[in-house]
């Protein structure tokens, strides 16, 4: 089985690195900057449990040419959502018909875009539940826990075996819409975390920041209820209860959070990484999905709309928002 990681940023390098460490044949299609880093330092993958493994630069299969994907049996699309359509067109004329494509991307619309362009291929929804931080010098660190999900398909038996060998849990799920909405609810914290400019664990330890997230989630849950969409349960706490739990006083939340999600001090959101690097964020594919749903229902989503506005301002002018300041702005949205 030949695997190709198309868009090997933090998530792509981490997933591909874990599979390469386990001995699988993995090609990485990367940006020139990442290629230079990996050629100099090799690829190291670590996690919150203390596991750390490296792939020497001499054995990495790297490149920037989309044609690398032509011989792949399975392709993981890991590019930012804004680049999905471009990637689909780049792949259209070079892929074997039997190729399976899995979208490990944020948001809900990427698979639909891929299917429109690559109609002859098997394209499946995937979901990465954990955060991966790029620590520099080719090191990519999984900072939170969680099992990967992919749309159930009979051709994925060998891939499940590969992930087991890489010590990454992969679950096959028929109802990926419920999984994706549940992940999106958790990802609403990306904007709050990015605006705070704090590591995830520190940000979530501050009640007012959690209340900001709770407001965004509560708004989203009301819209999902109206649309008759029930998100899956990805943590020990059902999605519908998350806003109440997040709003609890610190001493109670700290007790419950230990059972909800393991987070290490190095973890941070991908949106925070994008802002720090001066890149455009995926805010339109996270909070923007809530605003889009509201529009479809002829309703409004003022909290998530305000977070979009603040993040887009931060893409141009960096500002660290205090918890109370951000809470006050959202309360008046």
- Extents of the domains making up the chain: 3-174, 177-332
pLDDT bucket at 107, cuts 50 / 70 / 90: very high
pLDDT value for 302: 98
Question: HEC states along the chain?
Answer: CEEEEECCCHHHHHHHHHHHHCCCEEEEECCHHHHHHHHHHCEEEEECCCCEEEECHHHCEEECCHHHHHHCCEEEECCCHHHHHHHHHHHHCCCCCCCEEEECCCCCCHHHHHHHHCCCCEEEEEECCCCEEEEECCEEEECECCCEEEECCHHHHHHHHHHHHCCCCEEEECCHHHHHHHHHHHHCHHHHHHHHCCCHHHHHCCHHHHHHHHHHHHHHHHHHHHCCCCCCCCCCCCHHHHHHHHCCCHHHHHHHHHHHCCECCCCCCHHHHHHHHCCCCCHHHCHHHHHHHHHHCCCCCHHHHHHHHHHHHHHHCCCCCCHHHHHHHHHCC
* Residue 259: predicted pLDDT: 66
How far apart are the C-alpha atoms of 83 and 91, rounded to whole Å? Answer: 12
CATH fold, domain 177-332, is: 1.10.1040
- Tens of pLDDT along 173-229? 999 999 999 999 999 999 999 999 999 999 999 999 999 999 999 999 999 999 999
HSE, CB side, 13 Å, CA atoms: give it for residue 218: 15
Q: Of 108, 91, 89, whose CA–CA distance to 100 is shortest?
A: 91
pLDDT in tens, 200-210: 999 999 999 99
Q: Tell me which residue of 95, 100, 12 sits closest to 60, measured CA to CA.
A: 12
Question: Is the per-residue pLDDT at 129 higher than 80?
Answer: yes
The stretch 20-47 carries a mean pLDDT of 96
Query: Which pLDDT score is estimated for 261?
Result: 67
pTM of the model: 0.93
Q: Among candidates 105, 99, 234, 242, which has minimal Cα distance to 171?
A: 234
| CATH tag for 3-174 (out of 1.20.210.10, 3.10.100.10, 1.10.510.10, 3.40.50.720) | 3.40.50.720
Over the stretch 282-333, which tens digit does the pLDDT of each residue have?
A: 999 999 999 999 999 999 999 999 999 999 999 999 999 999 999 999 999 9
- Asked if 28 and 98 count as a contact pair (C-beta separation under 8 A), the reply is no
Write down the pLDDT at residue 260: 64
Question: Mind listing the pLDDT tens digit for each residue in 229-287?
Answer: 999 998 888 999 999 999 999 999 887 776 666 788 778 899 999 999 899 999 999 99
What is the tens place of the pLDDT at every residue in 72-99?
999 999 999 999 999 999 999 899 778 9
Structure token pair of residue 245: 């739990």
**Structure-block tokens of residue 321:** 């928002």
Max Cα-Cα span within the chain: 57
């Amino acid at each position: 089985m030949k695997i190709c990681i198309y868009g090997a940023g933090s998530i792509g390098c981490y997933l591909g690195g874990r599979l390469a460490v386990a001995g699988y044949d993995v090609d990485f299609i990367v940006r020139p900057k990442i290629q230079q880093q990996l050629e100099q330092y090799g690829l190291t993958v670590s996690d919150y449990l203390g596991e750390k493994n490296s792939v020497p630069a001499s054995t990495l299969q790297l490149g920037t040419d989309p044609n690398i994907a032509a011989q792949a049996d399975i392709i993981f699309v890991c590019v930012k959502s804004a680049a999905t359509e471009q990637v689909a067109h780049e792949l259209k004329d070079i892929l074997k018909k039997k190729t399976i494509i899995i979208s490990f991307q944020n948001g809900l619309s990427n698979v639909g875009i891929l299917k429109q362009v690559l109609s002859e291929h098997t394209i499946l929804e995937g979901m990465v539940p954990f955060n991966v931080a790029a620590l520099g010098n080719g090191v990519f660190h999984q900072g939170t826990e969680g099992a990967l999900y992919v749309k159930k398909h009979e051709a994925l038996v060998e891939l499940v075996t590969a992930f087991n060998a890489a010590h990454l849990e992969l679950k096959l799920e028929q109802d990926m819409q419920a999984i994706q909405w549940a992940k999106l609810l958790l990802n609403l914290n990306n904007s709050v975390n990015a605006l705070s400019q704090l590591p995830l664990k520190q940000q979530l330890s501050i009640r007012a920041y959690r209340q900001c997230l709770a407001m965004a989630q509560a708004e989203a849950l009301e819209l999902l209820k109206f649309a008759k969409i029930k998100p899956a349960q990805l943590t020990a706490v059902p999605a519908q209860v998350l806003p109440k739990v997040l709003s609890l006083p610190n001493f109670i939340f700290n007790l419950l959070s230990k059972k909800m999600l393991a987070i290490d001090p190095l973890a941070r959101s991908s949106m925070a990484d994008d802002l720090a690097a001066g890149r455009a964020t995926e805010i339109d594919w996270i909070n923007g999905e809530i605003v889009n749903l509201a529009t479809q229902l002829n309703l409004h989503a003022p909290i998530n709309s305000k977070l979009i506005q603040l993040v887009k301002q931060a893409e141009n002018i960096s500002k660290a928002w205090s918890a109370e300041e951000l809470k006050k702005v959202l309360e008046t949205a």
